Amino acid sequence: MKDFMDEKEIDNELELLDEDESFTEELEDIEENSAQKIKKLKQQLKECEKEKMEHLENLHRSKAEFLNGKRRLEEERIQEKERAVAVQIDKLLPLCDSFTMAISDKKGWATTDETWRKGFENIYNQLQSILVSYNVSAVNPEGEEFNPTIHDAMTTVPVHDANMHNKIISVVQSGYTRKVGDKEILIRPARVTIGEYVE
């Protein structure tokens, strides 16, 4: 067995080492290039993520603006419908007053032809059914305590019963309320006469 290498073997080994060093340098270059490419790709990925988040924020903002606009339009549509109904009701109330005045004339009403009276009552009932369809109710507060927030005092009349003081003695013109959702809205206060106690 040989304890040492001959010259040829040494040259072969040196050549292999030279090749290994160039290969190692080549590998180092490849690793460095790969590291730079990975760094660039990570940077691009980061930018893409940032763009994606901006697009998502814009999408969410646009969606919220769309929903808010839709909600506002719906609210405006409902308010416009309510205004139109209120205008219609305001136009109908004087008719109701006229019908009520005609019916309250007991003497004239009793002498009116029955056929004409029935036709008149039918028209009045149709008018009342229109008001009911709008959730409108007549208010007749006779006998109730006078409340200036919902009644309009036309005059006072002397009363000799202390219990009738500040009570509504008669209704000159009916008041009207309208139910909207769970709220009762005063459309027109009842015009009333109030009892004033005198001894």
Other beta carbons within 10 Å of 72: 10
Q: Which CATH class is domain 136-199?
A: mainly beta
Radius of gyration of the chain (CA): 47
- pLDDT surpassing 90 at residue 169: yes
Q: Work out whether strand 190-197 and strand 183-188 pair parallel, antiparallel, or are unpaired.
A: unpaired
In tens, the pLDDT along 78-107 reads 889 988 988 999 999 999 998 888 888 888
Of 20-24, 29-33, 117-121, 192-196, the one with minimum mean pLDDT is: 20-24
Q: Give the sheet arrangement for strand 183-188, strand by strand.
A: 136-139, 175-180, 183-188
- Of 182, 98, 185, 181, the C-alpha closest to 136 is 185
96 to 88, 126, 160: CA distances (angstroms) = 13, 11, 34
